[in-house]
Amino acid sequence: MSYLSVHSIVIETRPKRMELDSALEQLGHWGRFQLINYGLLCVPIVFHAVFYLTYVFTAMESEHRCLIPECENPLQTEFRPPWLASAVPFDVDEDKPVGCFRYDAVPGAFRSDNDSCPSWLFNNGTEKRCSQWVYPKPELSIMTEWNMTCDDNPGGSKFQLSMVGTMNNVGRFFGMPFAGFVSDRYGRRTILLGGLLLAGIMGMLRSYATNYVFFLVFEFLDPLFNAGLYSASFILGMELMGPQKRVMWSAFTHSVYAVGEAVLGGVAWALQDWRWILRAFYGPAILSLAVLWILPESVRWLCSKGRTKEARAIIRRAAVLNKMSTKQLDLEEMKASIAEEAKAKKAFKDDYKEDTPSTYWALKETFKSRILVIRLVTCSFCWMTNTFVYYGLSLNAVSVAGNQYLNFMLVCLIEVPAGLVTWLMMERIGRRASMCSSLILTGVSCLAYLFLPDTDGLRWVRVSTYMIGKFGITVSYTVLYVLTAELFPTSVRHSLFAMCSMIGRLGSVIAPQTRLLVLQGPSVTVILFGTMSLISGLLALVFPETHNTKLPDSIEEAENIGKKNNGAGGGDGPAANGTSGSNGGSQDVVLDMAPVKKTSVTSRPTRVSVTSMSGRPNKKTSVCSLGSVQVTVPEKSSSPPPTSPETPAPAPAPAPAPTPVEPETVTVHL
């Protein structure tokens, strides 16, 4: 235990002013201004959901058969004419023509004008590959229009079709950090409107593609620009709200996103033409800018950039639309409050820039912790599993027996109740139990799907089992976002969250390639989804329970999450954990309060100054708590505590005479 004698504490106060959260609370959450903006923000959310999964239908595989030139005109074909069984072999199990082979014609045989296509024209004992095909819907996808069939070799048509989805996710991988930079630098509204415009242009150009390479280039550029649509809309809405309603906004936007995916399935079902599917969404996306132009910029972002005049204008307009008096909001006082807060933050950065450890140092110390390294590896694997299974189940929904469009819509709509149930589960049974149970539910559902026979009587049972798997992985995915943010210490929380998310994105990049696994057997992909879900569900037990625990600030607090008497929750007494010299440990710091003088606090404190009598030149700091005020003081080496908190610190020994040292003052902004 270390002992610290405090010379004085000065608490500076300021009159209470109108702050931004208070102004937003007074504006309300369901006024006309808020409802208009919530409705407008739903538009880019729906478009983002559509843009993300259009490749499911533009690169969709279709049933096909060989063209029989002896019996039909290539310009006037019927997919299943009466004579087809005598010209091409059939798959008995699925009752459909084999797509890549036909029976060889009998040499010298020809049909008369009266015969449609007699069976004796073909030798059903000899098969050959064909070079022309017939499709139920020639304009259905790029596969049917550009004859991307019957090439199962590496780099062949199957691989080309799966690469469309992979290229989409690669574009999103690079687009997300770009969107984050633009959003923080130039505003949420800027990335939302600019991204929607550029994505709309890329999508319209893609609808006029004349070859596969042309199509693939714009499949990459589209998500590169639209990657920030959802996050910008989510943050813009969240920053419009007071702190009490943000969880509701999260659940609402998740549901809107799922509805957008279902809308894509419905429109694709109605059109069944990949070019018009793209035009049906990307054209209106460009036109919607005329309406979305009235969206205001984030008030919080404007305040953070010092543009208080624009922020106050938006709040004034909101008050008028909500039929409130602007005098209630005291906008001039809010302007002064924001300016003072910005000044205080700048002073804090200037005061502590020297003593604040770098992110590199914090990461280096974190990787020395065996507990946190195991937690990071486990978390990364769970991220990869969740993205792989989540997008894999969505993509493969069109391959489930039955109507592929209806199946896709149902698998998407199951996310609506899943998003709402997630928050209830996290509050009732905690994060770890929610994630573990939902992953195991997904794994069991995927494996159970294999044992259900594909018959007409059990078709809906199979579809329902598949949907339960999607329900489980949606719950798990949502919990994982919250859990990851609660597992790591403050200094490296964002860095490790980004690392887990980045590794997890590999799962969404690989998911479209599961189409190739179908060549090894139709059940391989579902077995892979189920197995990975079960493994991750068991690994989730490694995580500590973070429900109702304080976010960890230090490495030791993060290590002690879930342990009894870990002190992670902090205390209100005069002692608390602090970072020690070089090993990242902690020690208790006792304050001698006898000589301390405190000013009278009549409003929220804004600055606390602590003067130490130690004068120790060591720049490392320890954190302690004075009542409800958290302050930072210079670290003090161990020395005996005073016999009583009322008695002053003992006088130094008469010999040798100590060198006079000036008291050291440290300032903390709250």
Query: Tens digits of per-residue pLDDT, 490-506?
Result: 667 656 776 787 788 88
Residue 587 phi/psi, 5-degree rounding, is -150, 160
Which helix (H) or strand (E) covers residue 332, if one does? Answer: helix 331-352
* Residues 249-264, mean pLDDT to the nearest whole number: 86
Output DSSP code: residue 131: S
Q: Which residue in 522, 594, 502, 603 sits closest to 4, CA to CA?
A: 594
Tens digit of each residue's pLDDT (9 = 90 or more) over 541-570: 988 887 777 767 777 887 887 776 544 333
Instruction: Report percent pLDDT > 90 for the chain.
Output: 18
Q: Whats the size of the chain, residue-wise?
A: 670
List beta partners, residue 123: 104
Q: Is it the case that residue 332 has pLDDT exceeding 60?
A: no
Identify the residue with better confidence: 298 or 352: 298
Q: Is it the case that residue 165 has pLDDT exceeding 80?
A: yes
Tokens of 384: 């990869």
Q: Is it the case that residue 354 has pLDDT exceeding 60?
A: no
Residue 624 phi/psi, 5-degree rounding, is -135, 170
- Tell me how far apart the alpha carbons of residues 541 and 85 are, in angstroms, rounded to a whole number: 56
Q: Which residue in 500, 507, 503 sits closest to 485, CA to CA?
A: 500
pLDDT at 591: 41
Output DSSP code: residue 146: T
- Tell me how far apart the alpha carbons of residues 4 and 282 are, in angstroms, rounded to a whole number: 66
- Tell me how far apart the alpha carbons of residues 209 and 217 are, in angstroms, rounded to a whole number: 10
pLDDT grade, residue 273 (50/70/90)?
very high
pLDDT at 195: 92
Which helix (H) or strand (E) covers residue 143, if one does? Answer: helix 142-145
Strands (E), 106-249: 122-129, 133-134
DSSP assignment of 345-386 equals HHHHHHHHTTTSPPHHHHHHHHTT-HHHHHHHHHHHHHHHHH
- Tell me how far apart the alpha carbons of residues 459 and 536 are, in angstroms, rounded to a whole number: 29
Identify the residue with better confidence: 326 or 202: 202
Identify the residue with better confidence: 573 or 207: 207
Distances (CA, A) of 274 to 77, 200, 269, 280, 283: 21, 16, 11, 10, 14
Identify the residue with better confidence: 8 or 469: 469
Q: Is 397 left (phi over 0), alpha (psi -120 to 50) or beta?
A: alpha
In 3-state terms, what secondary structure has residue 544? coil
pLDDT at 326: 58
pLDDT at 382: 92
Identify the residue with better confidence: 634 or 536: 536
Specify the pairing of strand 589-592 against strand 2-13: parallel
Q: pTM higher than 0.85 for the full model?
A: no
Identify the residue with better confidence: 45 or 92: 45
- The amino acid present at 592, given as its one-letter code, is D
Output DSSP code: residue 658: P
Q: 11 and 607 in contact (C-beta within 8 Å)? A: yes
CB within 8 Å of 502: residues ≥ 6 apart: 173
pLDDT at 535: 94
Tens digit of each residue's pLDDT (9 = 90 or more) over 562-571: 776 544 333 3
Q: Is it the case that residue 104 has pLDDT exceeding 60?
A: yes
Identify the residue with better confidence: 232 or 30: 232
Q: Is it the case that residue 596 has pLDDT exceeding 60?
A: no
Question: In terms of DSSP H, where are the helices of 546-670?
Answer: 555-559
* Residues 348-362, mean pLDDT to the nearest whole number: 54
Residue 243 burial by CB count (10 A; 0-12/13-18/19+): exposed, middle or buried?
Answer: exposed
Q: What share of the chain is helix, strand, coil (3-state, %, to 5)?
A: 55, 10, 35
Residue 519 phi/psi, 5-degree rounding, is -65, -25
- The amino acid present at 1, given as its one-letter code, is M
Crossing angle (nearest 10°) for helices 459-487 and 524-539: 40
- Tell me how far apart the alpha carbons of residues 282 and 284 are, in angstroms, rounded to a whole number: 6
DSSP assignment of 477-514 equals HHHHHHHHHHHS-GGGHHHHHHHHHHHHHHHHHHGGGH
Which helix (H) or strand (E) covers residue 609, if one does? Answer: strand 605-612
Distances (CA, A) of 388 to 395, 518, 521: 10, 16, 19
Identify the residue with better confidence: 613 or 359: 359
Q: 170 and 511 in contact (C-beta within 8 Å)? A: no
